[in-house]
Every structure is written in C-alpha cells, then in structure tokens.
Structure 1
Amino acid sequence: MHKRETWGSRSGFILAAVGSAIGLGNIWRFPYIVYENGGGAFLIPYFVAMLAAGIPFMILEFGLGQKFKGSAPKIFSSISKRWEWLGWWQIMVSFIIDTYYVVVIAWAINYLILSFTQGWGMNPKDFFFADFLHLSKTPLQTGSIQWPIFAATAAAWLCTFLAVFTGVKKGIERANKIFMPLLFLLVFIFIARGLMLPGAADGLNWLFKPDFSALLKGKVWADAFGQIFYSLSIGFAIMLAYSSYLPKQSDINNNACMTVFINCGFSMLSGIMIFSVLGYMALQQGVPVSEVVSSGVGLAFITLPTAINLMPVPVLFGVLFFLALVVAGLSSMISITEAVVSSIIDKLHVTRQKASIIFCAIGFIVSTIFTTGSGLLLLDIVDHFVNNFGVLIGGLVEIVFISWFCDLEGLRQHINSTSEFKVGAMWKACLRFIVPIMLGFMVISNFIGDIEANYGGYSNKAIILFGWATLLICTIFSMTIAHKDFAFVKYAENNSFLRRR
C-alpha cells in the first residue's frame, strides 16, 4: 500500500483549510444574514455558535482525519464497516455540490472579463437573466447550452483538476499559498477604496447597528449556527480528507482554532466590503440601504454590477470584486474535489492521477446541465435540498455517531496529546448536546417548511425530480457502494473506538 501524502508545512495546511472554508457564501451570504438578524447584535449568537459548535466540530474532524488517515468513507469504515455508508453519503453530497458550484465560478469568470468594459450594460438585471443566462421559464425547459458559461466551466474544472492531479503538497498546497494571500489582498484593496466612498459609513451603520430585541428570536440563533456550520466546510467529508494528510505530531486544536477564526474574520471583512458599496449605491440613488441590499446570486451579479456602474474607476472595483469571487470559489472547489478524489483512491486503490481523471471527467459532464438555460433554476432547487438536508443530515448523523457511540474520551486524549492547549469536558458537552440539538432543529424546521410549501414556488414535478430525488440518489448510492468491495483495501473494524454497550 502506498504511503499517504502529508502537507509540506503547517502554514500550507492552514491556508488549504481556510481556502476550503472561505467560499462564495462568506462574501454574498454572511453580510445579508447579519443585516437581516439584528445587525451588530447578531454577532453575539454568531460568536457563541463559533465557540460552541464551529471550533468543537472542527477539532473533532481534524482529530478523526489525523487519527485514521483516510477519506470520510475509510474513516467510518475503519471504525465499523456498518458505518461506511455515512462517508459515502457525505461524498455524494460533495460531488453534487461540486457539479453546480463550478458553474457559479464560471459566471464569475465571465463577469471578471465583462468588468473591464462593464459589459453588463446599464441594466444588469435584464442582462444577467436574459442576455447572459438566457433563463428558461421553468426548470423543466432545459434550453440550449450557453457556450461562454460552458467554456468558463471547463476552465474552472481544468484548474481544479491540475491542483488535485499534482498532489497534496505540489498541487493543493501550492495553489492555496497563491490563492489565499491573493484573496485577502484583493479584499483589503477593495475595502480601502470602498471606505473612501460617500455613503460608505451609512452602509456600515445599516450593517452593524445593533437591534438587541433580535436576540429573543429563535430564528436568529438558528441562523447564526447555520451560518457557522455552512461556512466552515464541516460535516461533508472535506476537513476529514484534508486533516488525513497531517503529520502525527500536528497541533490539532490550534490548527482548528486558527482555521475557524480566519474564516470568521474574512466574513467580517466581506460585510465591510459589501455594505460600504451598498451605502454608496443607496446615496447615489437617493434611497435607503434597505432598498438596495440583497444576498446570493442577486447581490453578486445584479446589485454589485449596478453599484459598480455608479462608482469612480468602475474597472478597478469590478475586477477586484469578481477576481475575489473566482479565487474564493476555486479554493473551495479544490477542497470539495479532493474530498471525493481521496475517497476514490481509498476505495478503488488507484493512483491519485487516475482518480482525478475519473472524477473530474464525470463531474464536468454532469455540470453541463447547469450551463443550459434552466441552469440557475436547477441549481437553486438542488442547492436548497443538498444544503438543507444533505449537508445537515450528514453532519448530524456524524456528530451523534462519534460523540455518543464511539470513544469520544479516547479521541479527546489523542487530540490533546499533540496539541499545545487541551480540550476537556466542555468540548465533549458541546459535541454531545449543543451541536446535535441545533443541527436537529435545523433539519426538522427545514423539513416542515418544505412539506408545507414547495420551495421557491416551483412545481411538484420539479421539486420531486431535482429536489427529493437528489436525496434519494444520495441514499441509494451511499448504501450500495458501501457494500461493494472492488479493490478496496480491507480495514479491520476498530472496535476499540466503538463504545461497549
């Protein structure tokens, strides 16, 4: 059996883990969540969620990966063959996310090119939906492939393939040593210029002005935990794979804390970057910030281009913003791809190069459907179900299994043995109670909401075909492949890690 790779340096691992955690959601989701949930007051539940859920879960995953030295399926199979399916559930979720996440990166690549001439014109909304996406009326009307998006998708897959194909140290680590400093540099330059704009202070006031009455709402606390969970790449195989390449004497606790703190710090920077621009935009249009604020795709490809049109030196702002989106997207995509590739290597016992070719080829083919006229609608449905159920269920089952049915105390001792500072009973309490309760609450709330009314007002047929059927595919695939041996190296059950009943 080939020797498992390791990271070239501690900084290389931290940058790669941060690169995975920092993604498009930090830039276009976090600022809106803060604005919508009490402004500065939201930071209280956000930091509570970071300390009570984000850091404990990250330490757990770093510890599992470093201890069992494998991808998610191998880790759970090493503990008990009966639990290998959980790893494949998480891998299937990662695969699906990869196939549509790459298309959003492709949009950003196209807009990066357009930003040199403000090619989206004076009506960015009409341009985005009609001229750029050629959006279909329903998800069931596929439409034709949009070749600029297709070409950019191919470019993003190629970049990701080269990073993963060349290995952990020479590919992934090297790429993130370029991407992460570049991303922070771009954001700092944007902020420095954005804060000088008239109205920027008003925008920041709208973002951070505290409404402490919001702290009495359960939804605000749920959104805080949800934002922490979604933005850290925990619960769906990525951090398990990355930490499996850590050397034996790695400081797990410090590494986890640094990853979480840097990710959350970047989210704060993103809020300043976005709302300084929205404040300027509101001033120029003579409206309150509340009338221009948005999140997600609308913020990135409609609101911000509209604001950029109004700015002095629009080329500078446009290039900085969309290059930042591309870099943030690619660093996250590389990590998602590595989670799947590492599992293929472990399961089929093939070389990294062969596993990279297999996955990237299949992923590219599947992602083509999201480059068609119905791509945004399909993406919207699939993303909703994969994130609200696929990611959350995988994380919930993992945390319950490891914290309640495995030797969590033994894992704590293993983690502490190589860490500068130690975790104790509070760490175990967070994992056994706080994290499962919050994840369970979110899963149940999402399920009730989707049963009561179709998400986004889509038809029953579209919701079933692209929503619930996606979860069914994840279930069938994970259960089936877990019972297939192929050329999989046999791993004896590590009964010592399972709690005796």
Structure 2
Amino acid sequence: MTTRSPAFASRLGFILAAAGSAVGVGNIWGFPTQAASNGGGAFLLVYLIMIALLAYPMLVAEITIGRIRRQNPIEALRNMSERPFWRGFGLLSGIVGLVVLSLILSFYAIVSGWLIAYMLAPLMELLGLASTAEWLLTFSLERNLITMLFFMLLTIYVVRSGVNDGIERWSRRLMPLLFVLLIAMAAYILTLDGAIDGLKMYLVPDFSAISDPNLIVRAMGQAFFSLSLGVCVMMTYGAYLSEKENIPKTAAWVAGIDTSVAFLAGLLILPAMFVAQNNGVAIYADDGSLLSADTLVFTVLPAMFDTLGSVGPFVAIGFFLLMVIAAITSSISMLEAPVNALREETACNRHSGVWLVAFVVTILSTIIIYHFETLFSFVITLSTVYMQPIMALIFGVMLTWVLRQHRLLKALQQGSPQISQSLFWKIWPWYVKFICPVLILLVIWRG
C-alpha cells in the first residue's frame, strides 16, 4: 500500500518549482546555441510556435496524470486502467521513465560540476590562488569527480528537506534570483561593442529559413526537452498540486516562465557571442557554421570574459553562477521524482530514500567519468534524443487512449468546474490523442 504524496503550500510554490525544473542548463545555454546555429530569429519564431503546438499540451497531460490520484508516477500510470495488461504496462512505463530520469541526472551532475568549477576559477584568480584556478579549469578525472560530488551534495541538501521546506522554499529563492541575474547580465552585455549585431540576428527573423525542415525539427525538439517532458518530473509535481488549482492555467504559467527564461538567455548569449567576435574571438567557421557549439560555454565565453579587463572575472562569476542556479533548480526535481516513488512504493523515509537514490546516481556518474569517451555522449543521446520522446508519447497514449474520458474530465474539473464547456476541453483531448503523437514521432524519426 502506497503512502500519500506531499503537497505544495501554494500555487506560486508549484509554479516556481515546476518552472525551475524546466529551466535548466539546456534552457539557458542549449536554446541560445540552437538559435545561433539555426538562423537566429527564424529559430526563435518556430520555437515559440512549437511551445504552443507541442510542449504546452503535453505539459498539461503529464501534470494531469500526476494529479489524478496524487501519487507517484508508477502508481499514477498503473491506475490509468483496471485491466491487468494496462496496469502492468503503466507500472513498467513509470519505472522506465524514472530510470531515464536517473540517467539524465547522472550526466547532468557532471556538466553542472564543470559549471561550478568555472564559477570558482575566476574567484580563485582574484584571491591570488592561480594554481587552484588552473586545476579547476583543467579537464581531469579528479576535478570531474570532486565537482560532481559537490553538486550532488547541493542537490541532496535541498531534496532531503522535503517539498515545502526544501524544493518549494529554495525554488522561491532561486527562481527570482535567476531572473535578476539574467536581466542584469543581458543589460550589461548589450552595452558592449558588437552586441547590437547579435541582437539583430536574434530578433529579426529570416523568413526564408522558417520552412527549413531541419530548423523546424530542431525547434520542435528544443521546445519538447525544455519543459522536462517524458521523464516523470511533471507527473511527480502534478501529484503535489492542490485539487483547487486549474491545471491548464497553471501549466500555462510554467510554460510561460520557462519560455521567458529561454528568451532572456538568448538576449544574453547571442549578443555576448558577437561581443566576443568583436574582440577577436572566433565564433563562426568559414562556411558559416558555429564553432564548438556543444562546448561554447566553456571556450568562447571565457575567452570573451578575458577581453573585458578588470571587470571580466566578475562577469564570469555572475554568468556561471547563473548557470549553476539553473542547474540546481532542475536537478532537485530530477532527484525528487525517484525519491518520492521509492518512498511511496516501499514506505521508506525521505532521508533514506534521498541518500539511496543519490548514491545510485553518483555511482552512474562515476562510471561515466571513468569511461568518459565511450559513455558520456552515448548516455546523453540515449536518454534525451530517444527515450524522452518515446516516454512522452507513451504517457500521452496512456492518458488519452487508456484512461476513460469521464475520469480525465473529472480530474480537470477539480480546479475548473466549468471546463467541460470551454474551448480547451473541446480541442485539447483530441489534439493530445492524435496530433501530438504524430509530432513526437516526427522528432524521434528525424532525431
């Protein structure tokens, strides 16, 4: 017998926590790099369209699954039907989703450890500890292990305190700070020479590029991944959402905040790239392609910070602090989902569950670090390119094809009694049932 899920104390707490889960390193760095590599303003326009067409409807679906029974994803998916086959399928789907989430956290902790290292390095330089700064900036087994462990301990500290005192409390603190840092740094970067060229590229779309199939698929994938879909996180948070809350409106707030952060990140990163180029740092190759797109945050931007003189170290600390905050707001949700499932399914206490799941994830991260060349890219590709879309497709099918429609309507009516008369109810169930699977399959196929 499962225990009941905890709950957020307020709608604001849920919105900030769910948005924090969605806002991560991929959102702040991945989106701007994709935009820079795929037409700037054209990519931004198609991305916004895909948020509305694909990501938001699926976000509503996953939050709804979680709140139907207010239990962990394994139990929620198992109870989509009374039939033995679908109950077993739901059980397996929940377990696989949580395993994929743990794989994502295992490489996410490694990358986030690098961010901590790059945040501390300029501080060490200012303190006169040049050798320590060099160690932090040098790729090595020891540095990767130590910074990964430090990041995991930060995540454990938040999740161990529970939903209200841990996740909700820190989301209320970190998300506003994230916005303040983003806006302040973007405003500063826009005052530097070369920034306006990046701003024009970002905000002025090339309409001839909008029909490029590759750009459309990449924008669709970025919109899909930016909202943490397909990995049980939004289901877990949905179980914590009060029955009085309107799911479509609350999901719209989460999607809106997530999209706003991505947009602000673009206002920071693209102008910063052109500032770097103006200062002699190579950004684009001769054929127009973006140089080192995957590692730009660890190569080009630090080189740009070095050209800013005495203010450079402070800008570098601020930028990487921003990245670390984004990483933590995502990692706490990644750890919380399997911890709550373990707590409910086995009746273990939260403290033990946090340490057990974190230990398993840390072991996975350690294995990846020791076999970096072989496993790092493989785990990222397996979990994000293939498994996330597949699991989101399965969750959508479970909600709209397996769950009886009257139960779905009842779940949505808890926070919106008149929703059956709304345009949303007339369109959304059928849209998720037929259109979203086609779009997701297109992402998988092209991926």
Fold conserved between structures, TM > 0.5 = yes
> Per-residue displacement from partner, 1:122-152 (whole Å, max 9, x unpaired)?
xxxxx89x97224xxxxxxxxxxx2232222
Letter of the structure 1 residue corresponding to residue 70 of structure 2: K
Could you say which residue in structure 1 is the equivalent of 2:57? 56
Could you say which residue in structure 1 is the equivalent of 2:336? 338
Per-residue deviation at 1:27?
A: 1.7
- Relative to structure 1, is the Cα distance of residues 161 and 223 closer, same or farther in structure 2, using a 3 angstrom cutoff? same
Cα distance in 2, alignment partners of residues 303 and 253 from structure 1: 40
Is 2:142 the counterpart of 1:147?
A: yes
Aligned length: 426
> Per-residue displacement from partner, 1:278-306 (whole Å, max 9, x unpaired)?
11111121867666945764111111111
Cα distance in 2, alignment partners of residues 271 and 213 from structure 1: 21
| SS of match in other structure, 1:29 | helix
Could you say which residue in structure 2 is the equivalent of 1:300? 297
Per-residue deviation at 1:257?
A: 0.1
Give 1:399's match in structure 2, choosing from 393, 396, 400: 396
- Does the aligned pair in 1 maintain the 2:149–2:362 contact within 8 Å? yes
Could you say which residue in structure 1 is the equivalent of 2:411? 414
Cα distance in 2, alignment partners of residues 195 and 293 from structure 1: 21
Letter of the structure 1 residue corresponding to residue 325 of structure 2: V
> Per-residue displacement from partner, 1:352-402 (whole Å, max 9, x unpaired)?
122112111222222112334x43652122101211111111111221232
Per-residue deviation at 1:444?
A: 2.3
Could you say which residue in structure 1 is the equivalent of 2:129? none
Cα distance in 2, alignment partners of residues 213 and 352 from structure 1: 53
- Relative to structure 1, is the Cα distance of residues 307 and 412 closer, same or farther in structure 2, using a 3 angstrom cutoff? farther
Letter of the structure 2 residue corresponding to residue 349 of structure 1: A
- Does the aligned pair in 2 maintain the 1:52–1:430 contact within 8 Å? no
| SS of match in other structure, 1:116 | helix
- Structure 1 segments unaligned to the other structure (5+ residues): 120-126, 135-145, 447-501
| SS of match in other structure, 1:285 | coil
Letter of the structure 2 residue corresponding to residue 393 of structure 1: I
Cα distance in 2, alignment partners of residues 383 and 7 from structure 1: 31
Per-residue deviation at 1:187?
A: 1.1
Is 2:114 the counterpart of 1:116?
A: no
Letter of the structure 2 residue corresponding to residue 406 of structure 1: L
- Does the aligned pair in 2 maintain the 1:28–1:295 contact within 8 Å? no
Could you say which residue in structure 2 is the equivalent of 1:85? 92
Per-residue deviation at 1:242?
A: 0.9
Cα distance in 2, alignment partners of residues 413 and 51 from structure 1: 24
Cα distance in 1, alignment partners of residues 295 and 373 from structure 2: 11
| SS of match in other structure, 2:79 | helix
Could you say which residue in structure 1 is the equivalent of 2:189? 194
Cα distance in 2, alignment partners of residues 11 and 403 from structure 1: 28
- Does the aligned pair in 1 maintain the 2:389–2:444 contact within 8 Å? yes
Cα distance in 2, alignment partners of residues 5 and 286 from structure 1: 50
| SS of match in other structure, 2:279 | helix
Cα distance in 2, alignment partners of residues 288 and 252 from structure 1: 43
> Per-residue displacement from partner, 1:297-351 (whole Å, max 9, x unpaired)?
4111111111111124101210111111111111101101111111111221222
Cα distance in 2, alignment partners of residues 209 and 160 from structure 1: 39
Per-residue deviation at 1:105?
A: 0.7
> Per-residue displacement from partner, 1:433-487 (whole Å, max 9, x unpaired)?
22111111122233xxxxxxxxxxxxxxxxxxxxxxxxxxxxxxxxxxxxxxxxx
Is 2:39 the counterpart of 1:38?
A: yes
- Does the aligned pair in 2 maintain the 1:279–1:289 contact within 8 Å? no
Letter of the structure 2 residue corresponding to residue 105 of structure 1: S
Could you say which residue in structure 2 is the equivalent of 1:369? 367
- Structure 2 segments unaligned to the other structure (5+ residues): 82-86, 127-133
Could you say which residue in structure 2 is the equivalent of 1:360? 358
Could you say which residue in structure 2 is the equivalent of 1:226? 221
Could you say which residue in structure 1 is the equivalent of 2:426? 425
> Per-residue displacement from partner, 1:405-440 (whole Å, max 9, x unpaired)?
322454144314413875222212320222111111
Letter of the structure 1 residue corresponding to residue 212 of structure 2: K
- Relative to structure 1, is the Cα distance of residues 285 and 199 closer, same or farther in structure 2, using a 3 angstrom cutoff? same
Is 2:106 the counterpart of 1:99?
A: yes
Cα distance in 2, alignment partners of residues 23 and 376 from structure 1: 24
Could you say which residue in structure 2 is the equivalent of 1:285? 280
Cα distance in 2, alignment partners of residues 247 and 318 from structure 1: 40
Per-residue deviation at 1:50?
A: 1.3
- Relative to structure 1, is the Cα distance of residues 382 and 260 closer, same or farther in structure 2, using a 3 angstrom cutoff? same
TM-score by length of 2: 0.89
Per-residue deviation at 1:218?
A: 2.1
> Per-residue displacement from partner, 1:251-286 (whole Å, max 9, x unpaired)?
211110000011011101001101111111111218
Could you say which residue in structure 2 is the equivalent of 1:214? 209
Between 231-240 and 277-286, report the one with greater CA deviation: 277-286
Could you say which residue in structure 1 is the equivalent of 2:378? 381
Cα distance in 2, alignment partners of residues 296 and 237 from structure 1: 29
Per-residue deviation at 1:207?
A: 2.6
Per-residue deviation at 1:93?
A: 0.1
TM-score by length of 1: 0.80
Cα distance in 1, alignment partners of residues 334 and 281 from structure 2: 42
Could you say which residue in structure 2 is the equivalent of 1:253? 248
| SS of match in other structure, 1:246 | coil
Cα distance in 2, alignment partners of residues 278 and 112 from structure 1: 19
Could you say which residue in structure 1 is the equivalent of 2:318? 320
- Does the aligned pair in 1 maintain the 2:117–2:137 contact within 8 Å? no
